[in-house]
Chain A
Amino acid sequence: AQSVTQLDSQVPVFEEAPVELRCNYSSSVSVYLFWYVQYPNQGLQLLLKYLSGSTLVESINGFEAEFNKSQTSFHLRKPSVHISDTAEYFCAVTTHGSGNTGKLIFGQGTTLQVKP
């Protein structure tokens, strides 16, 4: 079975400071990894994904995440946050294989609070 652990439930940070949201996963088979963002009263939006290839993946709004297979981690980073980045962030995993991509396993979420 797969599991995802987000190590911080809340991360307060000042505007323009760097941030790292930590995510570790457990799986005995190959996985796809994701970061989703949820703004208040909204559904989930895919922020970035790791499927294969380069272990560093980037989003269009400045976030990046690095897949580290040996440490089973997929931490999310941003060098300079904005007030508008305040939201809840979820790390998720699904396994390779036919019929599995419709089932995401999520971490508990990390609330990023960007302060002015």
Chain B
Amino acid sequence: KAGVTQTPRYLIKTRGQQVTLSCSPISGHRSVSWYQQTPGQGLQFLFEYFSETQRNKGNFPGRFSGRQFSNSRSEMNVSTLELGDSALYLCASSAGLAGSYNEQFFGPGTRLTVL
């Protein structure tokens, strides 16, 4: 089974631009979660999508948004980039079944640098 894939792996943008990151989950998984990792704030939960619906949301401004497609692939978008958005963005997929434990499998991440 192929693992979680994220594209692109590296990205350089300038302040004010917007960016879209993509995540393809493990086949059969319906849940995709996104996390931001920075040296200062550590790993922070952004949001989770399950069956094309946002199921959980972290404490990030509205510039951060996401969506999920019918094939469970997910994208996250950051608009009006700020220097502080420079981070490793990780996505994780799981079966997402309610009422039970679902192991999350992480992708390698997209490293975003904002200049």
- For B31, the chain A residues whose CB sits under 8 A away are 102
Q: Which of B94, B106, B107 contacts A102 (CB 8 A)?
A: B94
Q: Place the interface of chain A in its size category.
A: 20 to 34
> How many angstroms from the CA of A44 to the CA of B48 in the assembled complex?
17
Segment touching A, from B13-21, B75-83, B96-104: B96-104
A106-B55 contact, Cβ under 8 Å, with A43-B107, A44-B90: no
- For A101, the chain B residues whose CB sits under 8 A away are 94, 96, 100-102, 104
- The interface of chain B, by Cβ under 8 A from chain A, is 4, 31, 33, 35, 42-45, 48, 50, 55-56, 58, 90, 92, 94, 96, 98-109
- The interface of chain A, by Cβ under 8 A from chain B, is 32, 36, 41-46, 49, 51, 90, 92, 97-109
Within the complex, what minimum Cβ distance (angstroms) separates B68 from chain A?
12
- For B104, the chain A residues whose CB sits under 8 A away are 46, 101-102, 104
Between B43, B94, B105, the greatest number of chain A beta carbons within 10 A of the residue's beta carbon is seen for B43
Q: Which of B50, B98, B103, B106 contacts A43 (CB 8 A)?
A: B106
Within the complex, what minimum Cβ distance (angstroms) separates A6 from chain B?
9
* Majority-rule SS of A interface residues: loop
> How many angstroms from the CA of A106 to the CA of B55 in the assembled complex?
19
Q: Which of A41, A43, A46, A103 contacts B45 (CB 8 A)?
A: A103
> How many angstroms from the CA of A28 to the CA of B55 in the assembled complex?
21
Contact across chains for B43 and A45 when beta carbons are under 8 A apart:
no
- For A46, the chain B residues whose CB sits under 8 A away are 103-105
Q: Which of B42, B55, B107 contacts A108 (CB 8 A)?
A: B42
